[in-house]
Structure 1
């Protein structure tokens, strides 16, 4: 049995990097993917501007250790990335005793497919290493 997730999309915001008390680097990103909307007959349709109507989905992605450091350093909002990893489900009880559920992708590999949305040299990732 296999649990593999592969998504390609744009970063919805800048990465959020942190270090655990144990010294592990953790970086969270949100990747937005789009898919065409369909009518009741299953056909795609155009929006009022003449473009194919789309629906966006937001995916939480978590990176660890070296991958976390690289993503935190080289990624920025608007950048096109391809993420490979596995789907991870969590369950917890909030402060009111209500059971909550969460889903995220734990990344094994991220490929940078474009530069970030900024135009400064800080976002120039042409020297970014290949990351696995």
Structure 2
């Protein structure tokens, strides 16, 4: 049995990097992916500009150790990335005693498909690792 997730999308906000009490580096990013929007009959439709309408989905991605350092240092909002990892489900009780559930991708690999904010205007990541 296999649990593999592959996402390609843009980073929604700048990475959130921290270090645990045990010294593990952890970086969280949110990756936005798009898919064609569908009407009540299940058919795709055009937006007001004549393009196929899209619906966005936001995915929490967590990176650890060396990958966390690299992603925290070189990734920025708007950057196009490809993430490979596994789906992880969590369950906890909030302060009111309500059971909450969450889903995230625990990343094994993050490829930088663009640099900087994705606009091509301000390339702040000149020293980012090259991706083949």
SS at match of 2:124: helix
Kindly state the Cα deviation for residue 104 of structure 1 after the two structures are TM-superposed.
0.2
Match of 2:110 in 1: 110
Match of 2:126 in 1: 124
Number of aligned residue pairs: give it: 129
Cα distance in 1 between the residues matched to 2:130 and 2:72:
13
Cα distance in 1 between the residues matched to 2:77 and 2:67:
17
Kindly state the Cα deviation for residue 92 of structure 1 after the two structures are TM-superposed.
0.4
Kindly state the Cα deviation for residue 124 of structure 1 after the two structures are TM-superposed.
2.4
RMSD: 1.5
SS at match of 1:122: coil
Within a 5 Å distance, the mapping from 1:5-44 to structure 2 comes to 5-44=5-44
Q: Summarize the Cα distance change of 1:65–1:129 in structure 2 as closer, same or farther, 3 Å threshold.
A: farther
Unpaired segments ≥5 residues, structure 2: none
Match of 1:2 in 2: 2
Within a 5 Å distance, the mapping from 1:61-100 to structure 2 comes to 61-100=61-100
Cα distance in 2 between the residues matched to 1:121 and 1:77:
12
Cα distance in 2 between the residues matched to 1:79 and 1:69:
16
Unpaired segments ≥5 residues, structure 1: none
Q: Summarize the Cα distance change of 1:36–1:72 in structure 2 as closer, same or farther, 3 Å threshold.
A: same
